Amino acid sequence: MTGRRAIAGAVAAALIAGPAAADRPQAQRAVVTCAALANLRILMTESGGEAAKIKARLGDPNADHLGCSRTPLDRIEGTADRVVIGGTSYDCLKLKDSLVCRWSLPRDPAPK
């Protein structure tokens, strides 16, 4: 596994789990998603893939969120599309009550 892929996997796990994830109901857990794949890649590059930096940026009302947000896991119905760019996989997640998927790093386990 390349360094970038390992970082991406670690970030995805940290963003999904976060501190004390087991103590929170499923509806409160979330994953970072973006309306555009390019914006997800920009967010990951500018944050260095660090979960704390991503969380701080998305929590700052004055920051440019790049069309990204934390999407609760209970809104995700599954993966609508998947691409690999430069060895890194990206999933476009199908959301409840939406015809448009949102881009995210792959997560494990994926909701059914």
Tokens for 66, please give them. 């790049």
pLDDT on residue 25:
53
Confidence label for 1 from pLDDT (cuts 50, 70 and 90): very low
Radius of gyration of the chain (CA): 13
pLDDT on residue 110:
42
Instruction: Identify the bridge partners of residue 78 per DSSP, sorted by sequence position.
Output: 94
pLDDT on residue 103:
98
- Convert 64-109 into a string of H (helix), E (strand) and C (coil): CCCCEEEEEHHHEEEEEEEEEECCEEEEEEEECCCCCCEEECCCCC
How confident is the model over 66-90, as pLDDT tens digits?
Answer: 999 999 999 999 999 999 999 999 9
pLDDT on residue 107:
78
Polymer length of the chain = 112
Q: Residue 23 above 90 pLDDT?
A: no
pLDDT on residue 73:
95
Mean pLDDT of 30-46: 96
Confidence label for 10 from pLDDT (cuts 50, 70 and 90): very low
10 Å CB burial of residue 108 (0-12, 13-18, 19+) is exposed
